Structure 1
């Protein structure tokens, strides 16, 4: 009997449909951590395994991350455009800078791929272990 895609995802089986859903959400600016926390989504470790083992998923994921940089850039402009004189300027600046930092990292990763680097580099920092 075929498994439901959500069941297959939690067990680690690759699903093109789930992979596309993950990448669409990444492109929309959602974090992989948030996506994988949702019911029916694979664990982050599963997604990292898919990245390691599946070249077509790596390409899809890389394109989604590039699109996410554009999404963040659009958010930065929207935040700046909608700020008023009464707004909390330090909070606005923090929101913009956080998005700029992430967008810069995403763009730098895309540029490295153009120089013969691996399509995706997954790094787990000590901060990730606490989460």
Structure 2
């Protein structure tokens, strides 16, 4: 049901203007706690980074241009509350825009091992 000219749909909040146009922004339920995977937890860095990248991409895709600064600033606060450093958040934002994977053929073999903080980081290649 529409409330105050707004209708939440999945992660999107659709708001109807006075001129019957629509605005879009990220929707969070009233029970949302802003808790995500803590940056200090024992998870592989790629998993920790994916939290940042996913939230940034979602914010950029769902929010209209004039609301993006507000949403990204809010997101920075939330990510810092979850143990992320400000430079990680900014780097991930820029890195996502320029990210391309190189398709290099080589004969390397893959070793899959459990993640152990401080150990796996030293023997893996990024």
TM range (shorter): 0.3 to 0.5
TM-score normalised by L of structure 2: 0.32
Give the structure with the larger strand fraction.
Answer: 2
- TM (norm. structure 1) is 0.32
Whose helix fraction is larger, Structure 1's or Structure 2's?
1
